[in-house]
Chain A
């Protein structure tokens, strides 16, 4: 217990330090000294209007993705599960892209969020149905492949039928995944859903722990698996749906973070939830800071940078798993 608090405290401190760095770092370096002069310094606007929303969103989105990954891995008892791999993010993207295609995003921005969250929740539900009650690793991955395929086909269709080149450009830009130029409005739209979804997922600890013994084992311990499934779909739907809606596709956070945290919490799926949220926030913050500092004409997209790191990580994970199974 104390070890867990120590871990959470350490990670929390890391997030705080990175948040401070995130407010300072970028094309224009804003040191501590500029903060105290408040409104007199022109850089004040950079901090509070550009970097503060960006920092808050990085923390929220990272926490949502890390937590979603930990919850999905716990439920499926599969260390390869993650909103991206299992097609939940793609389904959220499909929902969001549909509102962009219909140009509803400009008039009613909240619609994009609702569509993304419905897409994500639907994605989890379809995945659970496809994989069935006794889903093994392979069935879950195949379910993810199906969802990813269907969702990307839908996105491609929307792109090819886009009413104007600008609409297509908007969709592509958004799909690449970024935290740049997000406003306080975006924060207020995404944050409540991310907080609510995370709250729901944090309630799953007992059930996920019991699921260590399989579905029959968990039911024998008095766990209501139907309720667990509904909570998982709602929690992941709200949190990762709202995240995708505000940042586009940022993959691998939900895959990498629980994997790194697992040995630190004694491999317990329930104890993994909170540290994965905090570590996810730290990872996305750190990645977003690096992306901002990359010396290139246009900023490297966060989603692209994450995939560049996450792909090889996924591969290494797969190889080490294969070795253990062999």
Chain B
């Protein structure tokens, strides 16, 4: 049975208040404040070491910031009990580990961990697993050993694992890294479809600015732990912002199917 309160509570946004994280004397995040809205796919971009993954881990409630807090339903995520938090927020780590040669169905079933009891999966759990397999077109591979999957299939299986948990938020750290263009589009389609459902939202860190520009509803640009842009893609990824964030000269040009980012060269060169 679906939780009937789900839609109401899931309507709320994920809010970061003044997040600050220091690591070895260096500020990884320096007072980041942002509101992540349901119904949107938000992309977090920025150069290496800008604090993207740290921000995402804070949003997922997996990392305690030194100052500030993340709120969901106006309650701090860290105040939720871990199981409740895991039911609300699905998190896909960067380069996810699969330690044992389990089959795809078992892997996807792990997504039900915050719902299931010690007795294993219930009928409702199995139904959610089947639905997630269907959505990711993995049904035919349900009994395949995960370690024998191709990179694209593996990424789909791991995405199915998160979807099986029926979270209201999907937080993914570099979900497109290492995928070929076709599989990148598949993954983005799945995440857009997820965000379009009532009360759902998606936040992902991205390296590919083209994908952020074309497929996100909103883009956050991080540099040295500070937000330097937080707007719709075309308003966030301006030449000025790109120069400030990456130190590159770039132009936004009209492509055949929409705007494109054209790299010109190193800034100041």
Classify chain A's interface size: 20 to 34
Q: Smallest Cβ distance from B204 to chain A, in angstroms?
A: 14
Return chain A residues, CB-CB under 8 Å to B62: 216, 219-220
A212→B108 CA distance, assembly (Å)? 11
Question: Which of B17-25, B41-49, B113-121, B181-189 participates in binding chain A?
Answer: B113-121
Q: Smallest Cβ distance from A271 to chain B, in angstroms?
A: 9
Contact A210 B113 (CB under 8 A): yes
A221→B93 CA distance, assembly (Å)? 11
Return chain B residues, CB-CB under 8 Å to A209: 110, 113
A221→B164 CA distance, assembly (Å)? 12
Interface hits, A1-55 → B, CB 8 Å: 1
Q: Is A152 an interface residue (CB 8 A)?
A: no
A1→B123 CA distance, assembly (Å)? 13
Interface hits, B96-150 → A, CB 8 Å: 96-103, 106-107, 110-111, 113-114, 116, 118, 120
Contact A216 B93 (CB under 8 A): yes
Question: Which of A86-94, A101-109, A181-189, A261-269 participates in binding chain B?
Answer: A261-269
Return chain A residues, CB-CB under 8 Å to B83: 222
Return chain B residues, CB-CB under 8 Å to A77: 97, 99-100
Contact B118 A205 (CB under 8 A): yes
Contact A266 B113 (CB under 8 A): no
Q: Is B91 an interface residue (CB 8 A)?
A: yes
Residue from B82, B102, B118, B165 in contact with A224 in the complex, judged by beta carbons closer than 8 Å? B82
Return chain A residues, CB-CB under 8 Å to B221: none
Interface hits, B209-259 → A, CB 8 Å: none
Question: When A220-B62, A220-B86 are in contact, do A212 and B110 touch as well, CB less than 8 Å?
Answer: yes
A203→B62 CA distance, assembly (Å)? 23
Q: Is A217 an interface residue (CB 8 A)?
A: yes
A205→B111 CA distance, assembly (Å)? 15
Contact A214 B82 (CB under 8 A): no
Return chain B residues, CB-CB under 8 Å to A216: 62, 91, 93
A1→B122 CA distance, assembly (Å)? 12
Residue from A205, A220, A262 in contact with B91 in the complex, judged by beta carbons closer than 8 Å? A220
**A-B contacts, 5 listed (Cβ < 8 Å):** A205-B118, A212-B107, A216-B62, A222-B87, A267-B101
